[in-house]
Chains A and B, each alone.
Chain A
Amino acid sequence: MRIFTKSIIIFLLLTINNLNANENSERNEITKNLRCLICQGQSVYDSDSDFANSMKILVDKKLDDGLSKKEIYIYFKEKYGDWILYDPGINKNTYLLWLLPILIFLFGGAIIVKSFILKK
């Protein structure tokens, strides 16, 4: 059993060593969060349309200019509206969106805990 587990671990480590970490990751992270406005449900990162390609160049340029991730998002938001960002962020429009699932989770937990307390 021990040998088996060990061999699995060694195998995993070997395969992992062959993998390459993603290089220009900040640019990818940003473009993955931008909606390709002319596509049907696709991010700028995934799309190869002209629109997406020019957006990628624009993001590169903004990064070269020294803008942070946040500033780039704000730039695009002002230009195209909230619609362009896949991450809705927390603001007055989205409090409910973020909080409701959490509240449901807490509520569910409360029901389970209560059922145990009631039994005793």
Chain B
Amino acid sequence: MIYSVVGHYSLILGLCAGLILIFFSIQNFKNTNQLDTKILSFSFLQLFFVLISFLSLIISFVISDFSNETVFNNSHTTKPLFYKISGTWGNHEGSLLLWLLVLTLFIFIFLLRTKNQPIKYKILTLGFQQVIIIGFFLFLIQTSNPFNYVFPVPEEGLGLNPILQDPALAIHPPILYLGYVGSSIIFSSALAATTLKMISTSWAVHIKKWVLISWIFLTLGILLGSIWAYYELGWGGFWFWDPVENVSLMPWLALTTLLHCILVLERKEILTSWVIILSIATFTLSMCGTFLVRSGILNSVHTFANDPERGLFILIFLFALIFLSLFIFFFFHQNSKDNSSNFFWLSKETSILVNNWFMMYFLSVVLIGTVYPIFLDVISSQKISVGPPFYHKLIAPFLIPFLFAMAIGPRLKWIRSDFKDKIYLISLLIISISISFFIVKNFNTNILINTILISSALYLFFITLRDFFNKKYKNFAQNTAHFGFSLLILSILFNNLFSSEIITNLKVGETYDNSKTKIVFESINQKKEKNYKSIIANFYISNSEGINNNLSPELRIYNQPNITTSEADIKTTLMKDKFIVINLVQNQDYFNVRYQVKPFMMWIWLSVVMISLGGLVSFLQKRI
């Protein structure tokens, strides 16, 4: 009870701090000898209030204070402490509060860490950021207050969706939010720099760190979501081109493009307008994602409650931000025409342009694929599905030249370049093609595009791999990320081509046997936990290579709410995952058993980690 009051009033105080900050910013902006210390203290105060509010909500969850509507709707006394805490952001209100916390944290760090930049720029960035923060405060207090009362106080809560009762809930949303919200700093900073006409190489050097931070977190956040979707049944595997997955991929694509543009801008003042547009686009796409997911237009586990009012608020807010940024872009931005934008067609600049070109294409595919069905439904009330086949058809062919460009681009010089060691480049190409031809032919998956796609990925793989041992080649960060990307594409392709599965109905004591694999259904155990009962089936699996495993998939019957979930048991090894799931067959003592062997799963995760590691190396590097 008391915590709800504390939480609610700290939110209001945080909003007031935001308004005061805007006032001080305007005052300080006129008189800019130094940064007003009041600005720093009020930013800290705002962060402090949001933190208090957030902690109050966590405490309300921990003590199961059901007078709080959010706690009542999403918690239960029998839930383990771990899920009481992580359940704080496993709902709409709490996750928005977390979003707000990260927003205020980032702008505070920005103010502290930004040195050697004009005071005006810092103040203006703060101002734009406060516009966003205040917008979110209003949204939270107006439409999704986490501290609403329920009266009379219920005895028991409604419980957390069992699918969300998973360790990944503790870490996936916060990491993803760090990425999303990091893009808000880039947005505010780009607007401030445009207004002050200081989009320049020194600005690029400064903002690059922020781009990298958000990029690393966004990459890891998507990875965590993907791993979760992989082992959680019912989410269509590690990547299903589901709209909710797409909305996280779109800002990532924009951010990756921006990262590459910043690399050019770091050296030469070209592509300035493009960098501004991308900065705006990245944050807008993050917001768009929130809108699509939270308004209930897209149905998914992220849609906690369908409330049109919330959707409308975000939509209006989004349009206001887009309008503001377009206004600033068109009125303040001057394209530096005189600047020497001349570079030879074969140069690093061109390769980055090509990167941008393809990335924008991929972005448009994902964007159109995600929103087109919604528009079609509204306009002609025809329901269509746009699923994996659409994306594969439009993306895979374009990935081929993209991968070649990724291999060759970084080896080119700025301004003007020519091909060195041609023989080496061509011989690797021939090796790549012959290996992939062998792979595809051997397994008669006679699809031309697979051969070419694997060749191009292998090509990138070999070139980047060799560059690790090449002393002349210094760009370790780039090489790591590109190597990771080639590994990612290869792992996904091989995983896709060589997965195998066995589906059968078995009862306890029975054995399934084909020439390669033997599955023995040994026994069944029952277990009772605090918040669910579980049926554990024990399987003994041996294959022709003489490798034996014991796997124990589980059926869980949760008490609050009453839902049965199926938990896969996965044996992960370096080269392949063994994945087994059971389901009840109605009114029989048989279980439906599904056993899958998925090669290279581990490598998919490792390669994404490697990609973000590349970002981390670049972040830690001093500029040469």
Nearest neighbor of A82 in chain B, beta-carbon distance:
B384
A88 CB contact (under 8 Å) in B342, B385, B581: B385
- The interface of chain A, by Cβ under 8 A from chain B, is 1, 4-5, 8-9, 12-13, 15-16, 18-23, 32-33, 35, 39-43, 46-48, 50, 53, 81-88, 93-94, 96-98, 100-102, 104-105, 108-109, 112, 116, 119
Q: Which of B242, B356, B431 contacts A41 (CB 8 A)?
A: B242
Q: Chain A's nearest CB lies how many Å from the CB of B81?
A: 29
Interface range for B: 35 or more
* Chain B 487-523 interface mask (CB, 8 Å, partner A; 1/0): 0000000100111100000000000000010000000
Interface contact tally, CB-CB below 8 A:
139
- Smallest CB separation, B285 vs chain A (Å): 15
> Among A8, A19, A97, A104, which residue has its beta carbon within 8 angstroms of that of B386?
A97
* Partner of B384 from A23, A93, A108 at Cβ < 8 Å: A93
B residues whose Cβ falls under 8 Å from a Cβ of A: 233-237, 240, 242-243, 299-301, 341-342, 345, 353-354, 356-357, 360-361, 364-365, 368-369, 372, 376, 380, 382-390, 393-394, 398, 431, 435, 438-439, 442-445, 462, 465-466, 469, 494, 497-500, 516, 545, 566, 575, 581, 583, 586, 592, 594, 597, 599
Nearest-neighbour CB distance to chain A for B259, whole angstroms, equals 18
Q: Is the CB of A88 within 8 A of B439?
A: no
Q: What are 26 A-to-B residue pairs whose CB atoms are below 8 Å?
A: A1-B466, A16-B439, A19-B599, A21-B443, A21-B445, A21-B500, A22-B498, A33-B389, A35-B385, A40-B301, A41-B300, A43-B236, A48-B233, A82-B382, A82-B385, A83-B385, A88-B384, A97-B368, A97-B369, A97-B390, A98-B394, A101-B361, A105-B398, A108-B360, A112-B353, A116-B345
A116 (CB) vs chain B CBs: closest residue: B345
Task: Judge whether A88 and B465 touch: CB under 8 Å.
Answer: no
The answer for the CA separation of A9 and B432 in the assembled complex, in Å, is: 10
Partner among B361, B376, B388, B575 whose Cβ is within 8 Å of the Cβ of A104: B361
CB neighbours of B443 from chain A (8 A): 19, 21
Q: Closest A-chain residue to B581, C-beta based? A: A48
Within 8 Å by CB of A119, from B342, B360, B500, B586, lies B342
Q: Is the CB of A86 within 8 A of B497?
A: no
Contact of A105 with B299 in the complex, beta carbons under 8 Å: no
CA distance A100 to B367 in the complex (A): 11
Q: Would you call B361 and A93 a contact (CB within 8 A)? A: no
